[in-house]
Structure 1
Amino acid sequence: MTAIQDLFKTFAGKHGLGAACFICIAVLFWGIFLIILPQLAMLDYSFRFNLPAAQVGGVNDVYTLDNYAYFFQGNDSTVNTLDMGILVRTLVAALFVTFIDILLCYPIAFILAHSAKGVAARMMIIGLIVPFWVNEILRAFAFRVLFGSTGLINGVGMSMGLWDQPVDFIRADVALYSGLTYAYILLMVFPIFNAVEALDRNQIEAARDMGASWWRVHWRVVLPIAKPGIASGATMVFMLTAGALAAPQILGGPSSLWFTQLIYQWFNESANWQRGSAYAVVLLIVCISFVLMMMRVFKVSIGEIGR
């Protein structure tokens, strides 16, 4: 509490009491009404029976663990390998997309921070941002057209003789992974850029003068500085990828059911908000636990990510 008061006083001293109060009210409104209360409502739903509207609030409307038990056992009291397998596959896919984004965005962020200057840097930033003016749904459909059997990639590949007949990129999930990788690329580029920008260029030059190769310079000098930015970007990309719905619906093949699609089915097709809430809580807990575990493995703290 003292730290929050000190932060408020510092902010008020720089920007005025009115601006400080407005920021505090906005943050409290955002945190309480848009995050905490909806999550508490969903948590409450997850421990309820799916009852007709007339029975809600009656003697049968009691708390239960049946919705969570269904995730682990299903209806026949055997291990629910189907739903748990879909959850594991979703997490593995989200991890894969996050790893690809790191590989793509690290060199882009480094070039933006220490190589590109003036017009070149501005053009790179504009080139990254402008495509995201297009709605996410439209971008997903654009990827479906691009990777379709009569799309540009198949057309170019067959015209060059790389393959004789159209490749089913949709069924192979190539379109899905490409679309998800592209969808969250900015959330990886800018955290890494903010971290790498703080690196003193003289440290790189000193390492080069001592005979270090480029890969060793990045491994021993740049990556330790970039690690908080990588962790911040990876956290956002992983959580959003695991919770994506539009891209899996549009770009996913017939056998690539996403866990969020299961949640959607419980909420909208089965009209079972209680079970859908339980599945959503399971996804939230698993994702947060996985992120915290990775932070512990790579020795990155919340404070470092916040910077």
Structure 2
Amino acid sequence: MFDQLRNRFGSGLAVGIILMIVIWLIGMVILPQVLMIDYSFRPNLLPAELGGPKDHYSLINYQTLFNNKIHLSIFFKTIWSSVSVTMLTLLVCYPLAFYLAKVATPRQAAMCMLLLIIPFWINEILRTFSWYIILAYKGPLNALLQALGLIERPIRFLNGNGGVMIGMVYAYILFMVFPIYNGIESLDSNQIKAARNLGAGWIRTHWRVVIPHAKPGIATGCIMTFMLAAGSYAVPALLGSPGSRWFTQIIYNWFFEGGNWNQGAAYAFLLLLICIGFIALVMRIFKVGLGDIAR
């Protein structure tokens, strides 16, 4: 990496770039995580008790989660729901990415990408709140369905996880579609034509030709979508009902409402471990390495 930067920018600028990257990684990524881990193993004490006999490492903050059945159920529900959001987003984005990469003309692809990107010029909170209006009990979606005669009475889309799922799929669609598009776009179209000429149907062609080539892009999209979904706060807070709380909301409450940073750090660290485990699982399933994902 350094040799490539040196050949392109010169030794001085290459050293500066590498130094900025190292400072950013240490100051913004590594140190905050180390502090969070340290907090998670310490009890929540008064300032006068810090450094005293009670200030020692223990697993009490982690035991709190496993002893609290409500928080534990929300934790597992958040993980399962995040996996569901990832799968739904993949189902929506794969056909779209293939269309953009291999079917659409350059003009059509540019128009579709523009239509995808323009809504994301608006703040995430406003985009999520727009879905709150659309999915409301007396919102435009229910009015349209009633006008078409598809339903007799309004549906409570925001009662449960339905609204959260819809909002998250929409919120993170770009993080799935562009990695898959990049993976499919580099595939030689002649390979698809050859498979079709040899008698393979579209499903078999995708399964044996397109998907194997696009595995790094699919893995990247799944990882990014899962991480964003598992760590989301705004979407479940706006579109979720009281019975569909997200684990991030509990972490937020520990930090900013309960004032217990140690307990919140333990919850956050467990969520981080699950996310790391998901990354390893996806890489194993798709048989890709970090180099493939980083392309």
> What is the TM-score with the length of structure 1 in the denominator?
0.92
Pairing partner for 1:23 from 10, 13, 17: 17
Distance 1:252 1:32 in 2: 36
1:247 aligns with 2:235: yes
Partner residue, 1:263: 251
Deviation, 1:110, is: 1.3
Partner residue, 2:56: 62
Pairing partner for 1:42 from 17, 36, 48: 36
264 and 120 in structure 1: CA distance in 2 versus 1, 3 angstrom threshold:
same
Distance 1:16 1:105 in 2: 41
Partner residue, 1:196: 184
Distance 2:141 2:160 in 1: 14
Post-superposition Cα deviations, 1:30-55, rounded to whole Å, max 9, x if no partner, equal: 21111101111111111111111232
Amino acid corresponding to residue 92 of structure 2 in structure 1:
L
Contact 2:39-2:265 at 8 Å conserved across structures: yes
Distance 1:40 1:193 in 2: 36
Post-superposition Cα deviations, 1:134-179, rounded to whole Å, max 9, x if no partner, equal: 1001111100000001111011111222222211100032211111
For these two proteins, the number of residue pairs brought into alignment is 295
Is the partner of 2:203 in helix, strand or coil? helix
Q: Which runs of 5+ in 2 are unaligned?
A: none
Contact 2:160-2:243 at 8 Å conserved across structures: no
Partner residue, 1:9: 3
1:186 aligns with 2:174: yes
Distance 2:19 2:288 in 1: 30
Pairing partner for 1:138 from 95, 119, 126: 126
Amino acid corresponding to residue 168 of structure 1 in structure 2:
R
Distance 1:247 1:115 in 2: 33
Pairing partner for 1:226 from 214, 220, 231: 214
Deviation, 1:121, is: 1.6
Partner residue, 1:76: none
Post-superposition Cα deviations, 1:188-228, rounded to whole Å, max 9, x if no partner, equal: 11111111111011111111111211111111110000111
Partner residue, 1:77: none
> What is the TM-score with the length of structure 2 in the denominator?
0.96
Distance 2:15 2:174 in 1: 31
Deviation, 1:26, is: 2.5
Contact 2:195-2:205 at 8 Å conserved across structures: yes
Deviates more, 1:38-47 or 1:287-296: 287-296
Distance 1:181 1:165 in 2: 26
Contact 2:236-2:245 at 8 Å conserved across structures: yes
Amino acid corresponding to residue 64 of structure 1 in structure 2:
S
Is the partner of 2:214 in helix, strand or coil? helix
Distance 2:100 2:152 in 1: 40
Distance 2:92 2:23 in 1: 36
Deviates more, 1:83-92 or 1:20-29: 20-29
Deviation, 1:87, is: 1.0
Deviation, 1:83, is: 1.7
Contact 2:216-2:286 at 8 Å conserved across structures: no
Deviation, 1:18, is: 3.9
Distance 2:160 2:61 in 1: 33
Partner residue, 2:69: 81
Pairing partner for 1:98 from 82, 86, 99: 86
